[in-house]
Structure 1
Amino acid sequence: MDLIGLAQHHTPPKCQDLTKRESAWTKQEIEPILKGQLMSRHDFDPATSIPDGRQAARERLFEPLGSGPWRGHVEGEKLGTSGTILTYGNDRIGEGPQLHVHPYDEIFVVLEGRARFFVGDTVIDAEAGDVVLGPKGVPHRFENLGPGRLQTIDVHLAPRWVQADV
């Protein structure tokens, strides 16, 4: 089935009104629909979100050609926000950060490879595209399951990166 036939037969309920037209759909019209590019979101009233005067900011997270597992971090304070970002990666199966704990939640985004997360008494296997939560106060660690490189972005829900190794 071609793109036009696919869109006409498998249009999500929220898009049904898009199928009610007199002329045929073109490939250029169908592709953005299939990719979700025409689905807009309106989860809140923008008038209720008043800017607080902060300006856009940029900080360097890592050097692309850098080495070592801890490639860098940007503390939220530097950006004027409450989220701190770290990047971690390694090529060695079984290696990862040691067991530690934070006084805030940490969210791990697996960008590449596979990891095993140990969060309290829970073991979670995750792969590229997965997100894992490390709740505040719960000791956690993770390791590369291989094969190949493990690369993560770690989001600390605090203006500064603080931790206690356990």
Structure 2
Amino acid sequence: MSYFTTACMVRQSKLLVVFMAALFGITTLTNNITDYTAYAEYIGRIISMSDTIGNDSRRYRAISSPLFHHRFYWALITLEIIFTCSFIVGTYQLYRNLAAPHGEFHAAKKFSIIGFITAIFAYQTFYIIILNEWFDLEYSKQANAFKWAQTHIQYMFFGIIYLLAAKDT
């Protein structure tokens, strides 16, 4: 396959979308692990509802256990490790199959799909459903990760839709 055909450009753009998701995962993991204390404290403040405003009637939801805060944060980090590794493998698989027949290139998408679905699950479940809807993340006086999570969920949805919908024959 020539590298300057439309089909090859579509394939290369899909590779780039997955590669950018892998870079996001790598930088997010690096931040979460190298500055663990700051991020764990942030998660703890949200779960304990100690810096949210206007939610007195919902304070019964707060969980003040530091052990729970750390376990919650490590569950999120574990999902980030899974989707980051999936994106890295997916990037490699797509790169290796850029010039392969359609069926082989399509089969090479499986790790990228796992990465996108895991990332969507992690951010939708942990940030939007649990932290925002249950623990009122959106009402935090400090840094508010609600918009951050929404932005990344949107990118992951765009990525999986583009990966699967655009024709790459």
Q: What TM-score comes out, normalization by structure 1 length?
A: 0.20
**Is the helix fraction higher in 1 or 2?**
2
Structure with more relative contact order (C-alpha pairs < 8 Å, separation 6 or more): 2
